Amino acid sequence: MSPQRVVAALIAVLTAVAPAFCQTVALVETPSTGDCSRCTLELTVSGNLLVTQDGGQKPIKLEARARHLFVDRVLAVADGLPSRSARYYGEATTSAVAGGERSDHMLPADRRLIVACRSTEGLTCFSPAGPLTRDELDLVSEHFDPQCLPGLLPGKGASVGDTWAVSNPAAQAAGLFDGLIKNNLTGKLTAVQDGVATFTIEGTAEGIENGAKVVLTVAATGKFDPESKRVVALDWKQTDDRQQGPVNPASKIEARVVLKREWLAAEPKELAGAAGLPSEPTAALTHLRYTDPKDRYHFIYPRDWHITGQTDVHLVLRLLDRGEFIAQATVTGWNKLDPGRHATPEEFKKAVGESRGWVAGQVLGDGEIPTDGGRWLYRLTAEGLMDQTPVVQGFHLLAGPQGHQVVVTFAMKPEKVKRVGTRDLGLVNAIELGGEKK
């Protein structure tokens, strides 16, 4: 073959192939109120929790799996992303093994309808049916958030090889951050084949969650359907380097999320009437519920209180205000007496004085506190040292008419007292004792 014919043949081949490489695809997903989809999420996690012990960090092996299957209806849009969605979970389960101890959680049938609200302060989920438990809240708010998907795209036409910066709202939603510090996530169109555009998301994102700094390193691959103009699949891999926070240990984990998304032409029956759900949750809907495993007490409480420890004797909660640790509360079921009886102030003071690690100083307050439901509440507030650290502690003894008793102790640094305000009494007064009703 002559050189001229070789050149001509190469030109013909390149001309035939060029459209596949130069083809421009409109990588644009425009969410609208009323859009409905079905999502399946599979999560696998492996790594270590890093628990502070003896002045160092002890690794505790963590492995977890989760599966979520839900239908989703967009209720509102902001920043080019869904900002409020109604979701009905056909399935929401997690199974985790940490340090050899296994825990399994499943969303109950009466809490499967969830409203997910996205804002600059992160994701807020609630159930219109009533308060969730903390475990139920984690089930519906800690999985990958599909509200971020439109923001993973450039929002314009792209050719194979083109890159773009992922939007900040999408990076915050994808990372489940309460606040975004830095976003270096970059998208790239890598292929257009068989009517599907393949793109990648790579880079890092830094943010704050529950008062702890988190650095994510992401390597993800997504599928975009130009016909429906939707992201239909995503394989999201990330390494999660989390510093110790006020309610969580440090951790270094690897996670993989496999998402499949099907667009629905009609509203699913499970979301019929979703448009009438509240646009802003009332305080009662955002509160959480807790029941003592031994049924000594139960209560509904604001979600800025976080459960950080639980034994047969104690329940430990920490109060966060915009990620800052403010106070710690310890709830202890006390000995039950005969109906109509409760411990005397002198007996309570004696028990307080014997508290381990506590060296009492000046008493700031001492006496009965008005409460409701025929109950009796006594409070002793004092400055002192707890393990050599200056603190203010409020010791509360709550007794019911049937003889049930519970002690609630609040500990805080002296400069945090005003920040706590009346939130300690709010938590105490929310407690219902045993089978008693207020």
The domain spanning residue 405 has which CATH number? 3.40.1000.10
Place of tokens 């007496």: 337
Say if residue 369 is in the same domain as residue 251.
Answer: no
**Same domain assignment for residues 205 and 264:** yes
Asked if residue 18 has pLDDT above 70, the reply is no
Question: What element of type H or E holds 130?
Answer: none
Residue where a domain terminates, one of 246, 276, 306? 276
Question: Cα–chain-centroid distance for residue 129?
Answer: 19
Residue at a domain's end among 216, 250, 276: 276
CB atoms within 10 A of CB 364: 13
How confident is the model at residue 11, as a pLDDT? 39
Output the DSSP codes for 313-371.
Answer: SEEEEEEEETTEEEEEEEEEEE---STT----HHHHHHHHHT-TTEEEEEEEEEEE---
The total number of structural domains that make up the chain: 2
pLDDT value at 2 more than 80: no
Q: Is residue 204 part of a domain?
A: yes
Q: How far is residue 37 from each of residues 152, 260, 262, 383, measured CA to CA in Å?
A: 17, 10, 6, 56
- Residue 25 · residue 225 · CB < 8 Å: no
Q: Quick one: pLDDT band at residue 12, thresholds 50, 70, 90?
A: very low
* DSSP code per residue over 149-177: GGGGS-SEEEETT-EEEPPHHHHHHHHT-
Output b/e per residue, 34-53; b: 16+ Cβ within 10 A.
ebbbebbbebebebbbbbee
Q: What is the mean pLDDT of the chain?
A: 92
From 276, 295, 316, give the residue that closes a domain.
276
Q: Are 215 and 313 members of one domain? A: no
pLDDT at 35 over 90: yes
**Other CB atoms within 10 A of residue 299 CB:** 22
Residue 361 scores a pLDDT above 70:
yes
Residue 115 near residue 137 (C-beta atoms within 8 A): no
Do both 86 and 213 map to the same domain? Answer: yes
What Rg value do the Cα atoms of the chain yield, rounded?
27
Asked if residue 225 and residue 94 are part of one domain, the reply reads: yes
Q: What is the mean pLDDT of residues 101-120?
A: 95
- CB-based contact 150:205 (threshold 8 Å): no
Q: Examine residue 11 and state whether it is found in any structural domain, yes or no.
A: no
Q: What is the pLDDT of residue 8?
A: 45
Q: Which residue has the tokens 């000995």?
A: 335
Q: Residue 212: how many CA atoms within 13 Å on its side-chain side?
A: 17
171 and 66 share one domain: yes
* Statement: residue 311 has pLDDT above 70: yes
pLDDT at 6 over 80: no
> Which among 414, 172, 212 has a CA at the least distance from the CA of 323?
212
Between 305 and 285, the more confident residue is: 305
CB contact at 8 A, 413 and 390: yes
Give tens-digit pLDDT for 409-426. Answer: 999 999 999 999 999 999
Q: Which domain holds residue 327?
A: 287-433
Between 2-11, 173-182, 274-283, 292-301, the lowest mean confidence (pLDDT) is in 2-11
Question: What is the model's pLDDT at position 438?
Answer: 64
**pLDDT tens-place string over residues 69-96:** 999 999 999 999 999 999 999 999 999 9
The token pair at 307 is 């459960």
Give the pLDDT mean for 88-107: 96
- pLDDT at residue 316 is higher than 90: yes
In a domain, 7, yes or no: no
Q: Above 80 in pLDDT, residue 371? A: yes
Residues 327 and 262 in one domain: no
Residue 122 lies in a domain: yes
In sequence order, the β-bridge partners of residue 77 are 82
pTM above 0.85, yes or no: yes
Burial class from Cβ neighbours inside 10 Å (0-12, 13-18, 19+) for residue 281 reads: middle
Do 245 and 297 reside in the same domain of the chain?
no
